[in-house]
């Protein structure tokens, strides 16, 4: 898969967002950012 944003110089990173958080891969390093629990909205 090849994508571009047209920005210069840009970054070489892949972000995958999911229901439990975000996985970020940049320069062969992986980081997982866990999503904070959502609070229930009461009306």
- Residue-wise pLDDT tens digits, 17-37: 888 899 999 988 999 999 887
Strand, coil or helix: what is 12?
A: coil
Average pLDDT over residues 1-20: 79
- For residue 31, the model assigns a pLDDT of 94
pTM: 0.56
What are the angstrom distances between the C-alpha of 19 and each of 3, 31, 37?
23, 16, 10
pLDDT band at 6; cut points 50, 70, 90: confident
Q: In percent, how much of the chain has pLDDT > 90?
A: 28
């Amino acid at each position: 898969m090849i994508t571009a944003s047209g920005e210069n110089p840009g970054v070489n990173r892949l972000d995958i967002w999911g229901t439990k958080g975000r996985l970020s891969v940049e320069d062969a390093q992986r980081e997982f950012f866990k999503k904070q629990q959502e609070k229930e909205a009461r009306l």
